[in-house]
């Protein structure tokens, strides 16, 4: 399954230097005026939904730098898949893999004040996201406008995951300068929208972990398979870990991966040291999908080195044993023919 996603709103917006500037209000509709402080973070958030955003203004200073940082949380419902109501990162479907992502910065307009005579103004705007940058510059006395800019996320190896995107910060950096600190009108900047979109796939992979028929001990081979179609490609596995209640994870050393084929994977059971867990879980990570996939569970009562306690209980008339195929469950069996013998009679 493939589709498109869009991040509709950030969790945190951090406009810096908001309180630095003082001066009259710029009242242009839809503009964010840090000088006045009249616009709340909601306006910044709304920019992700195709609404105007103004990032900076300048008055009474020769140089001013303004930045706005978007950060995205994993908990809020901010990811829309195929136009559906937004869900959280944790709510993404199993196997969600980001195939591409981009940020579209809408039409930008910078207005520079040329009032008051021989004023020279300059504006530098930088859009930054996931290590890429789009710079804009104008020295036009009255400012300039720029068409839509785009940052396409680099998906080359190692391809970033959706988690990487969610943890990234989207930054807008605006610096304006002037040689006239006493101009009557402030400079300003706005961008019509900031839209983060991408494509994804959500494939469910099939796999199976073969349950050994013979007793298993450290060093014994464990085999996992997958079907030819829609199966896990074991050649893309990056790590194998074994976990069990109260211990682990134990990482299976890659040198113990004895068979690595697309549909067949065999590794050697690592040593558990002094632990004898009743059941273990085998998980893998891969470049084929995000996160880890649990291949299955093994009942480690098969471990030949397993030991137990035999407790003598008065009036106990049967032995209580664990069932190999049903972890945690017990079965009552007879004590093997309890008996006694008298001493020998006869000389």
Partner 1 sequence: MAKGFTGELIHFNATRMRVIGEGSLNQTFYGFDDINSEVLPSYVITPTAGPELSVLANFRDQHGQLEVSVDTIDEWFNISKITIFVKELASGYPQS
Hey, what are 245's tokens?
Answer: 């209640």
Q: How far is the CB of 313 from partner 1 (least distance, A)?
A: 13
Least gap, CB of 325 to partner 1 (angstroms): 21
Q: What's the chain's length in residues? A: 347
The whole-angstrom separation of Cα 81 and Cα 7 is 9
Cα 260 versus chain centre, distance: 27
How many binding residues for partner 1 (CB under 8 A)?
Answer: 18
CA angle 243, 245, 249 (to 5 degrees): 25
Label residues 298-312 b or e (16+ Cβ within 10 Å = b).
Answer: bbbbbbeeeeeeeee
Q: Smallest distance, Å, CB 298 to partner 1?
A: 31
Minimum CB separation from partner 1 for residue 338, in Å? Answer: 6
Residue 27 near residue 38 (C-beta atoms within 8 A): no
Q: Which range binds partner 1 by CB under 8 A, 73-81, 177-185, 273-281, 333-341?
A: 333-341
- Of 267-326, binders to partner 1 (CB under 8 A) are 315, 317-318
Segment interacting with partner 1 (CB under 8 A) among 8-16, 127-135, 274-282, 328-336? 328-336
Give the C-alpha separation, 276 to 280, whole Å: 10
Question: Which residue, 255 or 342, is less far from partner 1 as judged by CB?
Answer: 342
- Find out whether 224 and 207 touch, Cβ atoms under 8 Å: yes
Which is closer to partner 1, CB of 17 or CB of 319? 319
Q: How far is the CB of 344 from partner 1 (least distance, A)?
A: 5
User: Which residue lies nearer to partner 1 by CB, 132 or 316?
Assistant: 316
Name the site residues for partner 1 (rule: CB under 8 A). 315, 317-318, 332-335, 337-347
């Amino acid at each position: 399954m493939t589709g498109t996603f869009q991040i509709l709103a950030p969790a945190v917006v951090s406009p810096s230097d908001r309180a630095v500037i003082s001066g009259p209000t710029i009242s242009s509709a839809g503009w964010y005026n840090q000088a006045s402080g009249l616009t709340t973070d909601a306006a910044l958030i709304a920019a992700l939904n195709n609404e105007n955003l103004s990032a900076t203004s300048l008055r009474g200073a020769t140089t001013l730098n303004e930045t706005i940082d978007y950060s995205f949380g994993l908990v809020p419902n901010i990811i829309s898949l195929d136009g559906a109501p937004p869900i959280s990162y944790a709510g993404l479907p199993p196997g969600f893999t980001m195939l591409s992502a981009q940020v579209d910065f809408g039409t930008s307009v910078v207005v520079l004040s040329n009032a008051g005579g021989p004023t020279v103004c300059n504006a530098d705007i930088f859009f930054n996201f996931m290590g890429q940058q789009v710079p804009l510059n104008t020295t036009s006395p009255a400012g300039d406008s720029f068409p839509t800019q785009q940052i396409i996320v680099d998906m080359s190896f190692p391809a970033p995951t959706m988690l990487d995107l969610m943890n990234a910060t989207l930054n807008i950096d605006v610096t304006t300068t002037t040689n006239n600190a006493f101009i009557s009108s402030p400079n300003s900047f706005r961008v019509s929208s900031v839209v983060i979109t991408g494509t994804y796939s959500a494939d469910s992979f099939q796999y199976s972990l073969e349950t050994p028929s013979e007793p298993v001990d450290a060093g014994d081979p464990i085999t996992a398979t997958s079907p030819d179609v829609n199966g896990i490609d074991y050649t893309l596995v990056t790590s194998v870990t074994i976990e069990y209640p109260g211990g682990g994870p134990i990482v299976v050393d890659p040198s113990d991966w004895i068979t690595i084929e697309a549909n067949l994977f065999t590794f050697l059971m690592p040593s558990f040291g002094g632990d004898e867990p009743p059941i273990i879980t085998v998980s893998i990570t891969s470049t084929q999908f995000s996160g880890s996939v649990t291949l299955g569970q093994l009942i480690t009562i098969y471990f030949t080195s397993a030991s137990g306690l035999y407790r003598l209980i008065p009036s106990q008339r049967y032995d209580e044993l664990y069932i190999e195929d049903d972890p945690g469950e017990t079965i009552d069996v007879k004590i093997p023919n309890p008996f006694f013998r008298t001493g020998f009679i006869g000389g």
